Structure 1
Amino acid sequence: MAARPERKTMHPIVTLGHAMRCLKVRLTLCLTLALLAGALIAPARAGEAEDAYIVTRNRYVAAIAAAIKSGIPDQKLYKMDEQARADLKKRLATVLGPQSFKGVGRTPTFSPGALYSGELESGRPDGLLFQDEADTTRIFVSTAPILTNWLAEDAKASGRRPLSLMSQLSDDGFLTEAVSSDAAFTAYMRLPLTAQEGETVVALFGVFTQDDPTDLPPRSLIVARLAKDRVTVATVDAPGAGKDIPACTKVWRSYQAKANKLFAAIPKGKGAEDPQWDEAQTALTEGGTAYRKCYAEEAPKLSFYPAVVKRAEGLLSTLRGK
C-alpha cells in the first residue's frame, strides 16, 4: 500500500487545551496520542481507494464475461476492455501515488493486458509495469490487498485454493506473470540480500526461456520486495552472467546421454507411443533439475558471482527509491 501522508490535525479528543495540560504532565504520552490519531485516520482514505479499485475491477471482469457470453462483437469487446483497463489504471495510480524508478520510464502500462481470457497477457496480476527503452529492465508495482484479491479470483476461476501472497514472492509462475513479456522464468538459486526492518525481500538468479532451460546457464535477476503492503517485482539482466560451469555441464550430459540411448531404442514409427519415450523425457527433466542444483552449489565459489549479487543489491536499492 502506498505510504500515507502524515496527518497534521489532531484527533477530535485531543484538544489544544488538553494537549497543553498533557504537555505539563506527560509530554511523551500526549505526542503519542496525537501521532496515533493521525495514523488511524489517514489509512482509511487510502484503504477506501483501494477497496473501490478492487470492487470496480471485479465488476469490470464480470461485465466483460457476461458480454462475451451474450455474443458481443469482437470490436465492441476490445473497446469495452480498453475503457475498463484505462479506468483501472487511473484508479491504481491514485492508490499507489507518484511512482519513479531510476533507469526506467515514468509512464507505466497497466497489467493485465486484457480482462478476458485468451490473450497473451490476460490473467496477469493487477499492477503498473515500468520498463526501460531496451526492455531489459522491468518493474511491476502493486499492493498486497489488490494482489491478494487477484490470487483469490484466479483461484476461484481455476477451482483451487487461493495461494498466499508471501509464497508467490518466490514462485516462478507469479514472477513470470508480473515481469515477463513472452518467456517463462526459471529460478536456479536464491541470492543473499539483506532485508531491512519491515520488509520482505526475495532475490533470484535464473533464466527466461520459452523452452525447458535444461543446461542453459542463468543470466537474469528477479528481485521481489514487500514493504508496508507495497509489492514491487523487478527483473534485469545480470552482467557477466551466463557462464557455463564445466562440472554442471558434465552432470547434464550424463542425463542427456541416458535420454538419447532411450530415444535410439524406440522402434521406428513408434515415437511417443513407446514407453521409452516417457522415460527419456523424464531423464531430460531430471537432468535439468540436477544441472540447476549443481549451478546453485558451484556458482558462489566462482569469480563472476560477487558481481551478480552486487547487481541484485543495486536493483533492490532502486526498488527502495534510492
Structure 2
Amino acid sequence: MMAKTASLALLLAFAPLAVSAATPEEAYLSLRNRATAKLRKLEAAGQAAGAAEAEERKTLKELGEKMEAIIGPVSVPGFQKLGKYSIETLFEGVGADQLDGLAFTGDDEKSQLTVSTQSLTEAFLRARRKDWEKSEKPPQSLGEALASPFFYTLAVSPDAGVEIYADLPIAKPAAATLATAVLDLRSQDDAGGTLPDEIIVAVASEGRLYIASTPAKAKIESAPACEKIWSEHQAKAKKAMDSYSASGLANEKDFENYANLQAEGSAAFRRCFAEHAKSEKFFAALTQEAQALADKLAAAKR
C-alpha cells in the first residue's frame, strides 16, 4: 500500500511538468525568437560579422533540422522531394521573418511550395499583426489570411509584393479543411495595368498548411473596358507628373497626386479585370489548373 502511495505521489509530482511540456513547435519558436533577438541586437551594435555570422549559420542549421522533424516527409507530385528551411537569415533583410516551414522548388524550376503547420501559421499571424499594411485589416483567422494579398507577400514573397487580381472558385478537396486559389502578380513596384501571370493555391489539411505558386498556363487577356480605365488614369497621372517636373520637382502636392492616381488606376484596373474575367474562357481554364493543384496538395503523402 505504501509503495502504491509513493508511486502515486511521484506521478502527481511530475504531472505539472507533463502538462507544461513544450510542443515541438513551441520549442522551435522559442529557439528562433531567442536567437533572432540576440543576433539582431549584435547587428544593431555593428557586430554582425565574424562570430555572429558563424552563430547564425549554426542556429539556422539547428532550426532547419527542427523544422524537418515538425513537418515530416513531404511528397507532392510536380515538386522536388527535398525541401529547405524557409527562413534564410536571422538578421534583418530579405529572406528574414517569412512563414516558418520548408520550401520546395517545382520540377519546372518556376513553381514554389511552402509547407508549414496551421499552429505555426497562426503564431506567424500574431507576430506580424503589428506590421500589417495600413490599408488592410489584419486577419483574425487563417481563412481571412488566405484571402489577403499582404499575407502572401509576408509569408512567401520576400522580394516582391503580391497583388491579387481574382479569386479562383475551386472546390475544397475532401481531405482539406480550407482551400483557396487566387490569380496574382508579383511586382516590386506598382503593378499598373500589367496582367496577372501566376496562380497561388493554399490548402490546409491534417494540421499542415500548403502554399503553392505556379505560372498560369492559360493565355490571359484584358477586356477593352479595363484597358480604357487604365489609359484614362495614366493620362491624368502624366499631367500630374508633367506639372511636378515643370515646378522643378518642388511641388510635392503634384507628386502626391501622381502617386495617388497611379495607385487608384492600378486598383481600378484590377477591379475591372476581376469583374470581366469570370466570363472569359481563360478563367475556367485557370480554375481547372488551380483545382488540379489543390487536389494534389490535399492528397500529399506524409
* TM-score, structure 1 normalization: 0.77
In 2, Cα distance between equivalents of 1:106 and 1:86? 19
**Does the 8 Å CA contact 1:241/1:308 hold for their aligned counterparts?**
no
Note the alpha carbon deviations across 1:172-221, whole angstroms, 9 max, x for none: 22212333363221001111011246511121101112221110111111
Offset of residue 93 of structure 1: 1.1
Matched, 1:179 2:153: no
Query: In structure 2, how many angstroms separate the alpha carbons of the residues matched to 1:105 and 1:181?
Result: 21
Q: Secondary structure at the match of 2:23?
A: helix
Is structure 2 residue 141 aligned with structure 1 residue 141?
no
The answer to whether residue 225 in structure 2 is matched with residue 255 in structure 1 is no
Does the 8 Å contact 2:236/2:261 carry over to 1? yes
Cα distance in 2, alignment partners of residues 148 and 288 from structure 1? 31
* Matches for 1:199-214 after TM superposition, within 5 Å: 199-214=177-192
Say whether 1:292 aligns with 2:270: yes
Which structure exhibits the higher relative contact order, with contacts defined as CA atoms closer than 8 Å and separated by 6 or more residues?
Answer: 2
Matches of 2:208 and 2:240, distance apart in 1: 50
Letter in 2 for 1:127: G
Larger Rg: 1
Q: Which amino acid aligns with 2:140?
A: S
State the match for 1:239 in structure 2: 217
- Shift of the 309–155 alpha-carbon distance from structure 1 to 2, 3 Å rule, reads closer
Q: 1:81 is matched with which residue?
A: 56
C-alpha change, 1:228 and 1:132, in structure 2 (3 Å) is: closer
Report SS of the residue matched to 2:115: strand
2:105 is the alignment partner of 1:131: yes
Q: Return closer, same or farther for 1:55/1:73 CA change in 2, 3 Å cut-off.
A: closer
1:303 paired residue number:
281
Unaligned runs of at least 5 residues, structure 2: 1-18
Which amino acid in 2 is paired with 1:51?
E
Identity percentage of aligned residues: 26
- Structure 1 stretches of 5 or more lacking a match? 1-43
Superposed counterparts of 1:67-78, under 5 Å? 67-68=42-43, 72-78=47-53
Aligned Cα root-mean-square deviation (Å): 2.7
Which residue does 2:207 correspond to in 1?
229
Q: Counterpart of 2:88?
A: 113
AA in 1 matched with 2:289:
R
Asked if the contact 2:115–2:208 (Cα under 8 Å) also holds between the matched residues in 1, the reply is: yes
How do 1:251-290 and structure 2 match up within 5 A? 251-266=229-244, 268-271=246-249, 273-290=251-268
User: Which deviates more from structure 2 when the two are superposed, residues 94-103 or residues 68-77?
Assistant: 68-77
- d(CA) in 2 for partners of 1:211 and 1:228? 37
Distance in 2 of aligned mates of 1:121 and 1:147:
17
Q: Structure 1, residues 4-29: CA drift from partner, whole Å, max 9, x if none?
A: xxxxxxxxxxxxxxxxxxxxxxxxxx
Report the CA distance between 1:75 and its aligned residue.
Answer: 2.8
SS of equivalent to 1:72? coil
Task: Classify the secondary structure of the residue corresponding to 1:271.
Answer: coil
Structure-2 change in CA distance of 1:77 and 1:163 (3 Å): farther
Q: Which amino acid aligns with 2:51?
A: K
**Aligned mates of 1:87, 1:249 — CA distance in 2:** 51
Name the amino acid aligned to 1:141. Answer: V
Deviation at 1:280, TM superposition (A): 2.4
Contact 2:39 2:48 in 1 (8 A): no
